Amino acid sequence: MKITFRWFGNQDDSVTLDQIRQIPGMDGIVGGLHDIPAGEVWPLDQILALKKEIEEKGLNLEVIESVNVHEDIKLGLPTRDLYINNYQKTIRNLAQAGIKVICYNFMPIFDWTRSELAKELPDGSTALAYEKAKVEEVDPAVLIKMIESSSNGFSMPGWEPERVSKIKRAFELYRDVTEEDLFEHLQYFLEKIIPVAKECDVRMAIHPDDPPWSIFGLPKIVINKENLERIVKLVDSPYNGLTLCSGSLGANPNNDIPDIMRHFSAMGRIPFAHIRNVKIYENGDFTESSHRSSDGSLDIYEIVKALHDTGYTGYIRPDHGRMIWDEQARPGYGLYDRALGIMYILGIWDSLEKVKQSNGIVGSQSLS
């Protein structure tokens, strides 16, 4: 298991590389070129410059999040081949820089949805939250303004200006797109890019829909175990993998996250995992919580154990954290709570390693 930390660059992140490298157990950065619009080729010189900056601090850059998929690809428009060709070039450029995993998603229009970015919790910390009634009643344009005004001055991944500026037209284009259509469009995309990924030894890792159900009538397909199984078989290759996000899938209590982690990890199809917790309420609302199992609705111990038991050697990052200790940062992406999350995850992992070693010693003694 390799511990990583998402970083948005020295011009758009309150957290520094010097701070990140002081977190115990830290292996590397999950980075990206966040100013490159979806569909454009990522220039090799910019990728190498980012890699150099990170490596100078003693960290590695082997995971990219995200290379966004152009909406024309998701919609299956005739122009998609141009953008797929550009995506192939980006994969090749990233491979030249030593990138091993590319996280991406196939969510129509919005990468994620929340009704509030700073919901105050009983202890005074704040966290991202989803209130079903608010989302169902709000105009998407109003939601966009809320996200922008609550971002503490930072860009929000998945809510890039060039994307949301065309939202009305995007909704019109998706009006007749079904989930089956989206599966077909994803398969077309994968059939074009997975051979390039294999050639370059870069593993593609699709991220689940967040939350894992339809919003604003948009189709969603990366939502449960059954659909994940179907997705990895669309192009049955180890290079067609998953970014298994416990918090995204876990917002639906019907998703058994430890079981899903164990199943796909045993298959070798999780090159990258996001671990976070959510507190789910009976009415379908949820609030993001600390990573500790008892603070949310997910059993983080069992999730980590599922990876450990299956010999997981891929990349993990602590996903969204709360804002604590008066930190002012991009919502979900402060330093302190994510660092605490890493220590919780590593504490579980180290304990499991101790048990494994003890059982090995006992076993060897009993055989003598």
For the stretch 160-173, pLDDT in tens is 666 666 777 888 99
**Per-residue confidence (pLDDT) for residue 153, from 0 to 100:** 83
Query: How far apart (Å, rounded) are the C-alpha atoms in residues 182 and 131?
Result: 26
Residue 366 pLDDT level (bands cut at 50, 70, 90) = very low
Say whether pLDDT at 273 is over 80.
yes
Say whether pLDDT at 147 is over 90.
no
103 is catalytic: no
Name the catalytic one among 185, 263, 274, 291. 274
**Per-residue confidence (pLDDT) for residue 145, from 0 to 100:** 77
pLDDT > 70: what percent of the chain? 96
Say whether pLDDT at 365 is over 50.
no
Name the catalytic one among 72, 111, 209, 319. 319
For the segment 37-44, the average pLDDT, to the nearest whole number, is 96
Query: How far apart (Å, rounded) are the C-alpha atoms in residues 200 and 196?
Result: 6
245 is catalytic: yes
CA separation (Å) from 340 to 59, 63, 125, 290, 346? 19, 21, 14, 8, 10
Q: Helices 257-266 and 300-309: crossing angle, nearest 10°?
A: 10
**Per-residue confidence (pLDDT) for residue 368, from 0 to 100:** 31
Q: Is 185:235 a contact under the CB 8 Å cutoff?
A: no
Domains of the chain in start order, with CATH, are 2-367 (3.20.20.150)
**Per-residue confidence (pLDDT) for residue 164, from 0 to 100:** 61
Residue 362 pLDDT level (bands cut at 50, 70, 90) = very low
236 is catalytic: no
274 is catalytic: yes
Nearest of 241, 201, 248 to residue 99 by alpha carbon: 201
**Per-residue confidence (pLDDT) for residue 199, from 0 to 100:** 98
333 is catalytic: yes
Nearest of 84, 4, 6 to residue 38 by alpha carbon: 84
Name the catalytic one among 104, 333, 336, 344. 333
For the stretch 108-139, pLDDT in tens is 988 888 999 999 999 999 999 999 999 888 88
For the entire predicted model, the pTM comes to: 0.93
Name the catalytic one among 13, 87, 185, 245. 245
281 is catalytic: no
For the stretch 80-97, pLDDT in tens is 999 999 999 999 999 999
> What count of residues does the chain have?
368
**Per-residue confidence (pLDDT) for residue 70, from 0 to 100:** 95
Query: How far apart (Å, rounded) are the C-alpha atoms in residues 247 and 260?
Result: 13
